[in-house]
Homo-oligomer: A and B are copies of this chain.
Amino acid sequence: MKQGVRNHLLEIAGRLFAERGYDGVTVREICHKAGVNVSAVNYYFGDKQNLYLEAVRVAARQRIEEVPMITWSADDPPAVKLRHYIRNLLQRVLLNGGADWQAQLIMSEVVKPTRACRRFVQEFVRPNFEVLLRLLRELVPEELSETGLYRVAFSIVGQCVYYRLCKGIVRNLAGKKLPSLVHLEQLAQHITEFSLAGIYTLIQRARQRRRRAQLMLESAS
Contacts and interface: CB of A to CB of B under 8 A. Distances in A.
B155 A159 contact: yes
Interface string A193-211: 1111110111001000000
Nearest to A198: B194
Interface in A133-178: 146-148, 150-152, 154-155, 157-163, 165-166, 168-170, 172-174, 177
A79 interface: no
Given A147-B177, A162-B161, A170 B198 contact: no
Interface centre among A121, A161, A169, A172 (most CB of B within 10 A): A169
A167 B34 CA distance: 35
Nearest to A173: B129
A79 to B, nearest CB: 13
Contacts of A129: 173
